[in-house]
Amino acid sequence: MDRIEIRKNRSLHGEITVPGDKSISHRAVMFGSLASGRTKITGFLPGADCLSTISCFRKMGIEIEQQGSTVTVHGKGLHGLTCPADTLDTGNSGTTMRLISGILSGQKFTSRLSGDESICRRPMKRIITPLTMMHADIRSEKENGCAPLIIRPGELKSIHYNSPVASAQVKSCVLLAGMYADGITRVTEPVLSRNHTEIMLRYLGASVTSEGTTVSIEPEPALAGRALNVPGDISSAAYFIAAALVTPNSEILIRNVGINPTRDGILEVLKNMGADIRLLNISRDGEPTADLLVKTSSLHGTVVGGEVIPRLIDEIPMIAVLACFAEGTTVIRDAAELRVKESDRIAVMTENLRRMGADIEAAPDGMIIRGGSPLHGADVDSYADHRAAMSLAVAGTVCEGQLRIEGGNCTNISYPGFYRDLYSLSDGSV
Ligand code: S3P
Nearest residue to 244 (alpha-carbon basis) of 393, 357, 398, 387: 398
Which residue's CA is minimally distant from atom 10 of ligand 1? 314
Q: Is the dihedral of CA 331, 335, 340, 343 positive or negative?
A: negative
Instruction: Determine the atom of ligand 1 nearest the C-alpha atom of 26.
Output: 11
User: What is the amino acid identity at position 147?
Assistant: A
Given ligand 1 and candidates 169, 233, 316, 390, which is best to mutate, with the most ligand atoms within 8 Å of its CB? 169
Ligand 1 interacting residues, C-beta cut-off 6 A: 23, 95, 167-169, 172, 193-194, 313-314, 337
Convert the pLDDT of each residue in 19-67 to its tens digit.
Answer: 999 999 999 999 999 999 999 999 999 999 999 999 999 999 999 999 9
Residues forming beta bridges with residue 240, ordered by sequence position? none
| Same CATH fold assignment for domains 3-20+231-424 and 22-217 | yes
Which residue's CA is minimally distant from atom 11 of ligand 1? 23
Q: Which CATH number fits domain 22-217: 2.170.260.10, 3.40.50.360, 3.40.50.300, 3.65.10.10?
A: 3.65.10.10
Convert the pLDDT of each residue in 287-346 to its tens digit.
Answer: 999 999 999 999 999 999 999 999 999 999 999 999 999 999 999 999 999 999 999 999
Cβ–Cβ < 8 Å for 282, 290: yes
> How many angstroms separate the alpha carbon of residue 11 from the centre of ligand 1?
33
Convert the pLDDT of each residue in 125-163 to its tens digit.
Answer: 999 999 999 999 999 999 999 999 999 999 999 999 999
Q: What integer pLDDT is reported at residue 429 of this predicted model?
A: 42
Instruction: Please determine, for residue 430, whether its predicted confidence score (pLDDT) is greater than 70.
Output: no
Nearest residue to 96 (alpha-carbon basis) of 69, 118, 78: 118
Nearest residue to 325 (alpha-carbon basis) of 237, 269, 242, 238: 242
Residue 427: how many CB atoms within 10 A of its CB? 12
Q: What SS3 class is residue 71?
A: strand
Residues forming beta bridges with residue 329, ordered by sequence position? 370
Distance CA 345, CA 353 (A): 12
Where along the chain do its domains lie? 3-20+231-424, 22-217
Average pLDDT estimate for 352-379: 98
Distance CA 224, CA 218 (A): 16
Q: How confident is the model at residue 1 (pLDDT cuts 50, 70, 90)?
A: low
Q: What SS3 class is residue 156?
A: coil
Q: Which CATH number fits domain 3-20+231-424: 3.65.10.10, 1.20.810.10, 3.40.630.90, 3.30.980.10?
A: 3.65.10.10
Kind of pairing, strands 359-363 and 228-229?
unpaired
Q: What integer pLDDT is reported at residue 285 of this predicted model?
A: 86
Q: Is 314 marked active-site?
A: yes
User: What is the amino acid identity at position 234?
Assistant: I
User: What is the amino acid identity at position 360?
Assistant: I
Q: What integer pLDDT is reported at residue 427 of this predicted model?
A: 56
In the chain, DSSP finds a helix count (H) and a strand count (E) of 12, 23
> How many angstroms separate the alpha carbon of residue 351 from the centre of ligand 1?
24
Convert the pLDDT of each residue in 253-287 to its tens digit.
Answer: 999 999 999 999 999 999 999 999 999 999 998 99
Distance CA 187, CA 301 (A): 35
Average pLDDT estimate for 109-118: 98
Q: What SS3 class is residue 8?
A: coil
Which residue's CA is minimally distant from atom 15 of ligand 1? 167
Convert the pLDDT of each residue in 233-247 to its tens digit.
Answer: 999 999 999 999 999
Instruction: Determine the atom of ligand 1 nearest the C-alpha atom of 197.
Output: 12
- 424 vs 428 pLDDT, higher one: 424
- Using CA atoms, how far residue 249 sits from 36, 155, 163, 243, 394, in Å, is 51, 61, 46, 11, 16
Calculate Rg over the CA atoms of the chain.
Answer: 21
Given ligand 1 and candidates 21, 23, 53, which is best to mutate, with the most ligand atoms within 8 Å of its CB? 23
Residue 67: how many CB atoms within 10 A of its CB? 9
Residue 8: how many CB atoms within 10 A of its CB? 17
CB environment 385-399: b (16+ within 10 A), e (fewer): bbbbbbbbbbbbbbb
Q: What integer pLDDT is reported at residue 186 of this predicted model?
A: 99
Average pLDDT estimate for 361-370: 98
Instruction: Please determine, for residue 405, whether its predicted confidence score (pLDDT) is greater than 60.
Output: yes
> How many angstroms separate the alpha carbon of residue 13 from the centre of ligand 1?
31
Mean pLDDT, the chain, rounded, equals 97
Which residue in the list 49, 89, 116, 314 is annotated as catalytic? Answer: 314
Nearest residue to 69 (alpha-carbon basis) of 43, 98, 100: 43
To 10 degrees, what angle do helices 265-272 and 234-246 make? 20
Distance CA 356, CA 374 (A): 8
Kind of pairing, strands 303-304 and 329-332?
parallel
Residues 6+ apart with CB under 8 A from 22: 45, 47, 49, 50, 95, 233, 235, 236, 414
Q: What integer pLDDT is reported at residue 428 of this predicted model?
A: 47
